[in-house]
Amino acid sequence: MSKYLFFNVLFCLLFGFTSLHSQTKKSGPVITGYGEVWSIKNPDFKTYPAKEYKVVFDIMNTSKSSDQLNKSIETAARFLNMHVQSGIPLANLKVALVVHNNASKDLLKSSEYKSRYGTYNPNEELVQKLLDAGVEIVFCGQSSLSRDIPISQTIDGVELALSAMTALIQFQNDDFQLIKF
């Protein structure tokens, strides 16, 4: 192989590799500071901007550490940011979270969370931003009682349901698609 050809191939490989990895993830425009996503240019499987996307997230797990963000809750921020970044109007996105089991604690107000876990709730700001963006956050009544988390100790705007099972059924009956992570 000639030196010229070798350097051209090397240049193309390096430039191609660099350009592929120069893209960065970004958050917003709906939930800033959370829910970073990659921009996907010209996907083969098209997303339709005029379509309504109704989704309910089943949130039952949490981080093992009390001072870590619940990545399952952040998935809702990723969903909103990704679709709005891709041209879907926010009005076409209907998002709900049904929270239960181990994730129940992530809905506590920071003052209550700190008294229980010794640190402020790392999820409070994210949950508040989701509520402000119109996300419906429903807390399982069964988890509320079994985990001694009264609705009065949760972040303002969180709704109490009879159970997570009931809420998930009702959302799906209203044509929300279930996403479970």
| Over residues 148-152, mean pLDDT | 98
- Residue 146: inside a domain: yes
- The pLDDT, as a whole number, for residue 17 is 46
The predicted pLDDT at position 22 comes to 60
User: Residues 92-111: what's their mean pLDDT?
Assistant: 98
In a domain, 32, yes or no: yes
Nearest to 85 by CA among 26, 141, 142, 133: 26
pTM of the model: 0.86
**Helix 71-85 vs helix 124-132: crossing angle, to nearest 10:** 40
Whether 94 maps to a domain, the answer reads yes
Q: What share of the chain is helix, strand, coil (3-state, %, to 5)?
A: 45, 15, 40
9 falls within a domain: no
Domain housing 31 = 24-180
Taking residues 25-36, report their average pLDDT.
94
Residue 73 lies in a domain: yes
Q: For position 157, which CATH number holds?
A: 3.40.1260.10
- Model confidence band, residue 23 (pLDDT cutoffs 50, 70, 90): confident
Q: Please, what is the average pLDDT of the chain?
A: 91
13 lies in some domain:
no
Q: How many domains does the chain have?
A: 1
